[in-house]
Amino acid sequence: MLVTQKHRIALISVDGDPAAEIGQEEAGGQNVYVRQIGEFLADLGWQVDMFTRRSHPDQAEIVQHRDNCRTIRLKTGPAKFMGRDDLFDLLPEFVQEFQAFQQKQAQPYSLIHTHYWLSSWVGMKLKKLQPLVQVHTYHSLGAIKYRTIDDIPPIATKRLAVEKTCLETVDCVVATSPQEQEHMRSLVSTKGHIEMIPCGTDIQRFGSVDQATARKLLGIPPETKLVLYVGRFDKRKGIETLVRAIAQSELRGDANLKLMIGGGSSPGRSDGIERDRIESIVRELGLSDITEFPGRLDQSVLPNYYAAADVVVVPSHYEPFGLVPIEAMACRTPVVASNVGGLQFTVVSEVTGLLVPPKDDAAFAKAIDRILSNPTWRNELGQTARQRVEIGFSWSSVAARLGQLYTTLLHQAAATVPVPTPAVAATPKKEQVAA
Ligand code: UDP
């Protein structure tokens, strides 16, 4: 394999479009992660093409983000939104479209970084067709997810098998937290190469505004005690726990108490159904007067919301990492989170926020009250939270670590794999890529 100065690399995220609007059904942390590492790797000199599936007829085929970084939307099945669980049978077409696109380029991709299990399958197929290094990030593990839901989908068996083969055979799997790494080893396979590199956040954007200024911008009075949730409407995000906690808060009768639940939803889709369910619990508990649903919050305005809040609550049943906590922490706002997965890594209890058992309304209520009733401590937690993010979770440091990993893997491959002919591998025949 040729190791040249500026590598052309592909980030493959079949189901998570890096150029999509974030914060709605199935567009969350994975989309943000791919887009951010793509842009930061481009700044470091990599030539980054990010591949996803076209999910709407009006979407541009190519979105240029900066000189060396673009999103390419491949035709894969109908140009309409499809849930992740329905995409597997379309993957052979994605592989073919990828190969056809690649063939038109001057140089093949020497490394691909795949995201989520669907893309890992694409990467493993491509690896059989041409010499390349494959790095994979799971973003979510079937082995964990299926423990937390009652209605296990028919695709589960396939997903679990693909995730196991992926860990055992790709060049490197990136775990985003020590907890995720541990789960891979205990629940997926003891074989395979894992490196732990966390997710990051934009520490310039998040943290650019102080609380007083943010509140002026949003029209929130200084005396308001603001509790904020940001994220998708999904049962596993545990929003119900937060709402029930607010109903039990000692500050329940305080006219200044306010709950804001930010995130997009589409009527009739799964996130719209969850939002309706949450709204009905809010009504049932008599919290309508103090609860606001501002809808999807754009990344450009999110720093104001995080900074304006007194506390950000992340009540998820599980998170492999969770971007929302580090975004809030970068804005100097302490986080109350479930004591699970990557949240145990990012939130240091009693130091940058508080960790409490998941689904425990009373424990969440107590933790929120402790922070709201002690503004000096709240500010101390927030300052330490900012320092923690600056030290460990900036996108620039994450991209540098990924770049270093790619370089090492490419050199290892160059030492072991015979140099290929420069021509791009031929487009595979359909039967070569069939599931
Ligand atoms: N997000 C957003 N606007 C919203 C809600 C969420 O931009 O209205 C973003 C949020 O800032 C974060 C991402 O969506 O970057 C959610 O990532 P996280 O890892 O917390 O959760 P996921 O959605 O991956 O489960």
106 pLDDT exceeds 90? Answer: no
Residues in the chain: 435
Testing ligand 1's pocket by substitution, the residue of 324, 338, 347 carrying the most ligand atoms inside 8 A of its CB is: 324
pLDDT mean over 350-374:
98
138 pLDDT exceeds 70? Answer: yes
**pTM over cut 0.85:** yes
pLDDT score recorded for residue 381: 98
Q: How confident is the model at residue 1 (pLDDT cuts 50, 70, 90)?
A: very low
Ligand 1 neighbours, Cβ below 6 Å, are: 22-23, 28-30, 32, 230-232, 262-264, 296-297, 299, 302, 322-324, 327
> Which residue, by CA, sits nearest to atom 21 of ligand 1?
29
421 pLDDT exceeds 70? Answer: no
Return all residues near 307 (Cβ < 8 A) that are at least 6 apart. 207, 209, 210, 211, 213, 214, 331, 332, 333
* Beta pairing class for 69-74 and 62-66: antiparallel
Which atom of ligand 1 approaches the CA of 199 most closely? 19
323 pLDDT exceeds 70? Answer: yes
Distance 400 CA to ligand 1 centre (A): 23
Of 13-27, 70-84, 120-134, 387-401, the one with minimum mean pLDDT is: 13-27
Q: How confident is the model at residue 8 (pLDDT cuts 50, 70, 90)?
A: very high
Q: In the chain, pLDDT over 70 holds for what percent of residues? A: 93
pLDDT score recorded for residue 149: 81
What letter represents residue 71's amino acid?
A: T
Whole-angstrom Cα Rg for the chain: 22
The three state secondary structure string of 56-111 is CCCCCCEEEEECCEEEEEECCCCCCCCCHHHCHHHHHHHHHHHHHHHHHCCCCCCE
> Which residue, by CA, sits nearest to atom 1 of ligand 1?
23
More confident residue, 276 or 149: 276
Tokens of 87: 């995409």
The three state secondary structure string of 167-195 is HHHCCEEEECCHHHHHHHHHHHCCCCCEE
Testing ligand 1's pocket by substitution, the residue of 15, 32, 37 carrying the most ligand atoms inside 8 A of its CB is: 32
124 pLDDT exceeds 70? Answer: yes
Helix (H) or strand (E) holding 11: strand 8-12
pLDDT score recorded for residue 417: 61
Distance 358 CA to ligand 1 centre (A): 19
> Which residue, by CA, sits nearest to atom 14 of ligand 1?
28
pLDDT score recorded for residue 24: 66
> Which residue, by CA, sits nearest to atom 4 of ligand 1?
23
Distance 333 CA to ligand 1 centre (A): 16
Measured CA to CA, the distance from residue 392 to residue 394 in angstroms comes to: 6
430 pLDDT exceeds 60? Answer: no
> Which residue, by CA, sits nearest to atom 11 of ligand 1?
324
pLDDT score recorded for residue 268: 86
The residues spanned by each domain of the chain are 8-200+394-415, 211-392
Closest CA relative to residue 99, chosen from 333, 435, 432 = 432
Measured CA to CA, the distance from residue 35 to residue 17 in angstroms comes to: 8
Testing ligand 1's pocket by substitution, the residue of 33, 299, 389 carrying the most ligand atoms inside 8 A of its CB is: 299
Which atom of ligand 1 approaches the CA of 139 most closely? 24
CATH architecture, domain defined by 8-200+394-415: 3-Layer(aba) Sandwich (3.40)
pLDDT score recorded for residue 25: 64
Q: In the chain, pLDDT over 90 holds for what percent of residues? A: 87
Q: How confident is the model at residue 382 (pLDDT cuts 50, 70, 90)?
A: very high
423 pLDDT exceeds 70? Answer: no
Return all residues near 374 (Cβ < 8 A) that are at least 6 apart. none
Distance 408 CA to ligand 1 centre (A): 31
346 pLDDT exceeds 50? Answer: yes
427 pLDDT exceeds 60? Answer: no
Distance 190 CA to ligand 1 centre (A): 31
Same CATH topology for 8-200+394-415 and 211-392: the answer is yes
Average pLDDT value for the chain = 93
Closest CA relative to residue 24, chosen from 297, 242, 293, 260 = 297
Measured CA to CA, the distance from residue 131 to residue 152 in angstroms comes to: 36
10 Å Cβ neighbour count for 357? 12
Homologous superfamily of the 211-392 domain (CATH): Glycogen Phosphorylase B; (3.40.50.2000)
Residues 28/264, Cβ–Cβ less than 8 Å:
no
429 pLDDT exceeds 80? Answer: no
3-state secondary structure of 36: helix
313 pLDDT exceeds 70? Answer: yes
pLDDT mean over 393-405:
96
Q: How confident is the model at residue 425 (pLDDT cuts 50, 70, 90)?
A: very low
Residues 155/91, Cβ–Cβ less than 8 Å:
no
Distance 335 CA to ligand 1 centre (A): 15
Q: How confident is the model at residue 259 (pLDDT cuts 50, 70, 90)?
A: very high
pLDDT digits (tens, 9 = 90+) for 10-50: 999 999 999 998 766 667 899 999 999 999 999 999 999 99
70 pLDDT exceeds 60? Answer: yes
pLDDT digits (tens, 9 = 90+) for 204-237: 999 999 999 999 999 999 999 999 999 999 999 9
